[in-house]
């Protein structure tokens, strides 16, 4: 009996390790990392409410890094221009900083025409950056002043690379 338990136990440990590894790799990294945030905007923190999402019956279900789940809509994320049938999945990254906050919504699209463009929209102490590459789009919403041309260029570059690597 002991001879049978040892191989079964080893096999179980291997299966659990592979499952943990698979689940850890299934979540894509966030588009902005801590070093980039601090060097581009000043001190800031990626919030645990960031996470990946799927659409279920037209609702956005965000699986937050904190382990919680949030139900919302594309419109409340600021990307209501897309129909739920056009969004396969995505992620949202929330950042709180000293004198600013921002969030990025990344969409993996379907049933749309592939395109490549970028646009920066400056408002009253806010900036929106839209980067579209192929069948993916990143929308950054920045609150806390207008971005400098250098910040704008750095963000477009980082978001473009991120989308191209999805």
- Confidence band (pLDDT; 50, 70, 90) for 13? very low
pTM for this prediction: 0.83
- Confidence band (pLDDT; 50, 70, 90) for 4? low
* Lookup: tokens for 97: 């900083």
Give tens-digit pLDDT for 93-118. 999 999 999 999 999 999 999 999 99
Region 1-30: mean pLDDT is 54
Q: What is the C-alpha R_g of the chain?
A: 19
Under DSSP, the state recorded for 117 is: E
Whether 60 contacts 74, CB under 8 Å: yes
């Amino acid at each position: 009996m002991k001879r049978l338990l040892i191989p079964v136990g080893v096999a179980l440990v291997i299966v659990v390790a592979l499952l943990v590894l698979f689940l850890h790799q299934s979540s894509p990294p966030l588009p902005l990392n801590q070093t980039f945030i601090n060097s581009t905007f000043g001190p800031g923190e990626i919030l645990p409410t960031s996470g990946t999402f799927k659409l279920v019956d037209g609702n956005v279900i965000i699986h937050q890094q904190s382990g919680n789940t949030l139900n919302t809509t594309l419109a409340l994320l600021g990307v209501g221009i897309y129909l739920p049938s056009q969004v396969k999945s995505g992620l949202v990254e929330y950042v709180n900083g000293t004198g600013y906050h921002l969030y990025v919504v990344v969409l993996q699209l379907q049933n749309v025409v592939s395109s490549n463009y970028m646009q920066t929209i400056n408002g009253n102490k806010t900036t929106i950056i839209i980067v579209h590459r192929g069948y993916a789009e990143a929308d950054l919403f920045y609150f806390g002043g207008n971005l400098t041309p250098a910040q704008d260029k750095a963000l477009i570059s980082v978001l473009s690379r991120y989308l191209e690597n999805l």
